[in-house]
């Protein structure tokens, strides 16, 4: 399962230096759908108007719902684009 929207996650969001928007599977359209395909849950970033998938289902599930594991994995992947 993915990271749950709970107090711990909300506090973690405040430490991530980019905007975070939750988009549910049934609301994904257009270019976002083209990047994510059927790999849900996923984490996508936008750089220079290009969407890039940072984490797919396997990477998110490897965090086992642990917010700190997720934050660490996300930060590692974000470093490639900063």
- For the chain, give the DSSP string: -----SHHHHHHHTTSSS------GGG--HHHHHHHTT--S-EEEEETTEEEEEE-HHHHHHTTT-HHHHHHHHHHHHHTT-
Q: Which pLDDT score is estimated for 41?
A: 93
Full-model pTM: 0.82
Percent of the chain's residues with pLDDT above 90: 51
Tens of pLDDT, residue by residue over 17-38, are: 888 888 888 999 999 999 999 9
> How confident is the prediction for the chain on average, in pLDDT?
88
Model confidence at 58, pLDDT cuts 50, 70, 90, reads: very high
């Amino acid at each position: 399962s993915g990271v749950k929207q709970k107090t711990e996650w909300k506090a973690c969001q405040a430490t991530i230096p980019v905007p975070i928007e939750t988009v549910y599977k049934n609301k994904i359209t257009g270019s976002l759908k083209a990047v994510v395909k059927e790999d849900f849950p996923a984490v996508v970033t936008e750089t220079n108007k290009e969407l890039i998938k940072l984490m797919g289902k396997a990477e998110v599930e490897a965090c086992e719902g642990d917010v700190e594991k997720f934050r660490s994995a996300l930060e590692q992947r974000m470093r490639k684009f900063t």
